[in-house]
Amino acid sequence: MAGSSHVYQAPRGTRDFLPDDMAVRLHIERAWRDAAVNHGFDEIEGPTFEHLELYTSKSGPGIVSELFSFQRSGGETDFALRPEFTPTLARMAAAQGRGLAVPTRWFSMPWHYRAERPQRGRLREFRQFNVDVIGDPSPAADADTIAVAVAALRSLGLTHDDVQVRISHRAVVNRILADLGVADDRITDAQDLLDKRDRIDPDAFAAKAAELGLTDDAVARLGALGGDSVPASTDPATLAEAWSVPADALTELVALRRELEARGLLDACRWDISIVRGLAYYTGAVWEIHETSGNERAIAGGGRYDQLVESFGGPSLPACGFGMGDVVLELVLRDRDLITDGAELLPRPDAFLVSMGDDTDDAVVPLLTRLRAAGLHARATDKTTRNLGKLIKDANRARARYAVIIGEEFADGRVVVKDLDSGDQTEVELDQLESRLGTG
């Protein structure tokens, strides 16, 4: 309304990205993309919104309350902003049919939207790194996706001392739950409860476990599942004893252990049977990456979902993958001082031009244009002052490598180049300027 002093805010659960914030986001995305590409994955993208049925067909109508769903004005088709990428991935793979290369290695970094109450580490709009292998049933594919996640985190400064991959297996979990006395038709409920174990009060956990028909002893054993996660280097016999399952139930995890060892990842991984992942489409190994301090929710999570592509009308293809959101990851990086100031991540200009007189002002734009044409990152001051000290401060504020001072020497075909890191300055011939600035 004209004359109103009202200032609009960003919608709750969303973020504005000012230059410093954008630098942080691009820093994270660069680590994601480099890790995926270096491990042989190709980038894809899908639509921001999908048919609502894509989500309700697998999760039921109850999921609608968790989505931003809508109809076009005057239309009849229900759509929803995507809350995750895996259904889109499965739809895209199914659409390729038998023409899909096997195995296919894809990654994406799409926006996602969830209509839920915003809280620390969980927003309504967020960026997510998705990495998937389609058409490879072997544990090598699971290990490859874990390797991408670990490589991305390591490039951001997070080592196995900071974060750990906690690995489980849905079939093993189900076997343990059945041995505890959980009925077949309550296995999913028990999985959900186990998934929430660390987020609810112990008494509430025990009460809900009792509702599953478990004895007091079984409730105690269910609550103790996981605990301190077991190193991935643990031999199968010890692991079978720790989980009270026969060794032959761990065949796939033993094979995964071998693949992780081949990639030098055992130190980064732990076995933790309390990891079940909440989504029903997981069929085999599942895993999450957590801070060793446990301050934040999972940084990443994924696993194997061998029937998903087929469930969307595609061929029967095994698949596995993970998602890693930017919100929790940024919190972890900031908490560990791996990101302190987004300005430090902004690209540094090669040259910052300042004019010292009226007779050299007209030289600034042509020289800027020339340097940019040579592929250099060049900027100029917006200030009208002739105070060199203030202009150099301007150049330092922009984090430029060099200040190019256009003064009285310009008439003789020279400028003064000041190295803003060392403080050294020299006169440089104009025809040598590009080479001089390109040496930093």
Containing H/E element for 414?
strand 414-419
Tally the domains of the chain. Answer: 2
- pLDDT of the residue at 329: 96
Answer yes or no: is 294 within a domain. yes
Same domain, 271 and 380: no
Site of tokens 């109103």:
4
Identify whether 357 is part of a domain: yes
**Is the bond into 318 cis (omega within 30 degrees of 0)?**
no
β-strand partners of 269 = 165
Domain end residue (candidates: 335, 355, 373):
335
Q: What is the pLDDT of residue 136?
A: 96
Are residues 368 and 309 both part of a single domain?
A: no
Question: DSSP per residue over 206-244, as a string?
Answer: HHHHHHTT--HHHHHHHHHSSSSPEETT--HHHHHHHHT
Last residue of a domain, one of 301, 335, 369: 335
Query: Are the C-beta atoms of residues 173 and 276 closer than 8 Å to each other?
Result: yes
Q: What average pLDDT values come out for the chain (440 residues) when binned by 10 residues?
A: 73 94 96 98 97 84 87 93 92 89 96 93 95 96 98 96 93 87 84 78 83 81 68 82 85 93 94 82 92 85 91 88 96 92 89 91 94 95 89 94 94 94 94 85
What was the pLDDT predicted at 340?
83
State whether 101 and 36 are in the same domain. Answer: yes
> Rg (Cα) of the chain, in Å, rounded?
28
Q: What pLDDT sits at residue 439?
A: 62
Non-local CB neighbours of 228 within 8 Å, separated by 6+ positions: none
Count of CB atoms situated within 10 Å of the CB of 245: 18
Task: Answer yes or no: do 258 and 376 share one domain.
Answer: no
Containing domain of residue 404, as a range?
Answer: 347-437
pTM of the model: 0.89
CA distances from 395 to 360, 382, 402 (A): 18, 11, 8
Residues 321, 372, single domain; the answer is no
Report the CATH number at residue 371. 3.40.50.800
My answer on whether 103 and 152 are in the same domain is: yes
pLDDT for 220 equals 79
Question: What is the longest distance spanned by two Cα atoms in the chain?
Answer: 93
The CATH number for 242's domain is 3.30.930.10
pLDDT value of position 4: 61
Query: For position 113, what pLDDT does the model report?
Result: 96
Domain finish residue from 289, 308, 335: 335
Q: Let me know whether 256 and 186 are in one domain.
A: yes
